[in-house]
Structure formats: C-alpha cells, structure tokens
Amino acid sequence: MKIDKDKSEKVILFMKKNSIPLLENNVVIEKSDLSNDIEMSQVVLNGVAVFTGDNEDFKNCNKDSELPDFSSPGTLSYLLEQGIKKSGFKCTIVVDDNWSFKNWLSIYI
C-alpha cells in the first residue's frame, strides 16, 4: 500500500498542528497490551502519543481524525511512516508488545 501526496501532506500538517517534531530520523512506536480481554494499543511518533485505544476505537476514529483513514494501530503506523518518508525524511516503525496500558493509564489517574 502506497500513500499519495495528499495523505503525506496531511501527515505533515497533523505533525505541525500537534507540535510533533519532524526529525532527521523519525520513529513510530506501535505499542500493544495483550494482557487483558480487550487489546489496547497506542501509536507514538517521536515521543508524542498520536492515538490510544482498543481495536474498535481505531476502527471508528476516522470521522474525527485529522489524519487520512486508518483502521488499526498497524495502518496508522504505516500511514505516519510513509507520510514522513514521502516528505523526504527517514522513519522507522518499532513494535512493542510489552507495553502496559494499565501502567500508562495510572500516570493520568
């Protein structure tokens, strides 16, 4: 799946609007917590959480998202990576299946 120039531009505009730095070497981290009945995931770009939720959240978020369509943590990660690469920057996706949603949530409660 390749993304077109429009989607790439949306990714860069989203990053600027949300103060996500565009670096020489960008990193997308796809985090998953498989320890519960409901799989929770988070996609982080250069240290900034872009989206957190369960599978249904990822499938239903597009109507409110400033990003092009995505339906899973994997498609969002790929969209970010390809948008950044199409803009001439390096980007790597890292998958972290040891992330703990419960620990992350405890920071905010």
Over the chain (109 residues), the average pLDDT of each successive run of 10 is: 72 91 94 86 94 87 72 91 92 93 81
pTM of structure: 0.87
Residue 8 tokens, joined: 């790439």
Contact 31, 99 (CB under 8 A): yes
Give the C-alpha separation, 72 to 14, whole Å. Answer: 18
Give the C-alpha separation, 23 to 1, whole Å. Answer: 24
User: What residues contact residue 28 under an 8 Å CB cut-off, 6+ apart?
Assistant: 43, 44, 45, 77, 80, 81, 91, 92, 93, 94
pLDDT tens-digit map of 77-92:
999 999 999 889 999 9
Reduced to 3 states, what is the DSSP secondary structure of residue 50? strand
What pLDDT, on a 0 to 100 scale, did the predictor assign at position 92? 96
What pLDDT, on a 0 to 100 scale, did the predictor assign at position 4? 67
